[in-house]
Chain A
Amino acid sequence: DAGVTQSPTHLIKTRGQQVTLRCSPKSGHDTVSWYQQALGQGPQFIFQYYEEEERQRGNFPDRFSGHQFPNYSSELNVNALLLGDSALYLCASSQLVTSERIPDTQYFGPGTRLTVL
């Protein structure tokens, strides 16, 4: 059973460009969350997708947008890249647990390391 996969593994862009990162969730999972991990920091929540809709969003500007497809895979798009967007971008998948509100375990992918020059 494949876990969470992300592509590409590394990416180099220049300021002002746009980037798309991709994530395939673990089999059986319907929810995808994206996190940004700057060097030496803990991951920060960007947003979460369920049923192709953004359910919750962290404190990130509108330059960060996403999409979830019917097969539950997801994309993270970042427009007008800034030097400060350089980070490891992590995707996590889980099942949305609707009863008892106990969160399911989030399984993380290996990440995409984005470098903005």
Chain B
Amino acid sequence: AQSVTQLGSHVSVSEGALVLLRCNYSSSVPPYLFWYVQYPNQGLQLLLKYTTGATLVKGINGFEAEFKKSETSFHLTKPSAHMSDAAEYFCAVSDRRTGFQKLVFGTGTRLLVSP
């Protein structure tokens, strides 16, 4: 069964600092990989996804993530944090073998941005 581990339930950064949110997956076959963001009292918004091709994926709001098969990781980064980036971030995977769209989510990382 697939699973996702997000290291750190909370990450605090200063405005302008590098953001790094960690995600590791467990799967017998490299899955499709996603990062979603959830603002308070809202649904989830897709930041970026990796399906095939280039392993460095650029998303919205200046975020990017790199798929590293050897490390089974898909860490999310942003060079310079904004106050508006404060939110809950979820890493998710889906099984590329079946083509089904079931997403398996990690437990989330809350990003706190201080002035």
Task: Using CB atoms and an 8 Å cutoff, list the residues of chain A in contact with chain B.
Answer: 4, 31, 33, 35, 40-45, 48, 55-56, 58, 90, 92, 94, 96-97, 101-111
Check if A111 sits within 8 Å of B43, measured CB to CB: yes
CA distance A31 to B42 in the complex (A): 21
Task: Identify whether the interface residues of B are mostly helix, strand, loop, or mixed.
Answer: loop
> Is B101 close to A, CB under 8 A?
yes
Specify which chain B residues have a CB less than 8 angstroms from the CB of A108 in the assembled complex.
Answer: 36, 43-45
CA distance A97 to B49 in the complex (A): 16
Check if B101 sits within 8 Å of A58, measured CB to CB: no
Task: Using CB atoms and an 8 Å cutoff, list the residues of chain B in contact with chain A.
Answer: 4, 32, 36, 41-46, 49, 51-52, 90, 92, 94, 96, 98-108
Specify which chain A residues have a CB less than 8 angstroms from the CB of B92 in the assembled complex.
Answer: 42
Check if B103 sits within 8 Å of A110, measured CB to CB: no
CA distance A58 to B51 in the complex (A): 22
Check if A41 sits within 8 Å of B108, measured CB to CB: yes
Check if A44 sits within 8 Å of B105, measured CB to CB: yes
Question: Closest CB-CB distance, A74 to chain B, in whole Å?
Answer: 14
Check if B51 sits within 8 Å of A102, measured CB to CB: yes
Check if B43 sits within 8 Å of A106, measured CB to CB: no
CA distance A106 to B94 in the complex (A): 11
CA distance A55 to B101 in the complex (A): 10
Check if B45 sits within 8 Å of A106, measured CB to CB: no
Specify which chain A residues have a CB less than 8 angstroms from the CB of B103 in the assembled complex.
Answer: 33, 35, 43, 45, 92, 106
Contact of B43 among A44, A90, A96 (CB under 8 A): A90
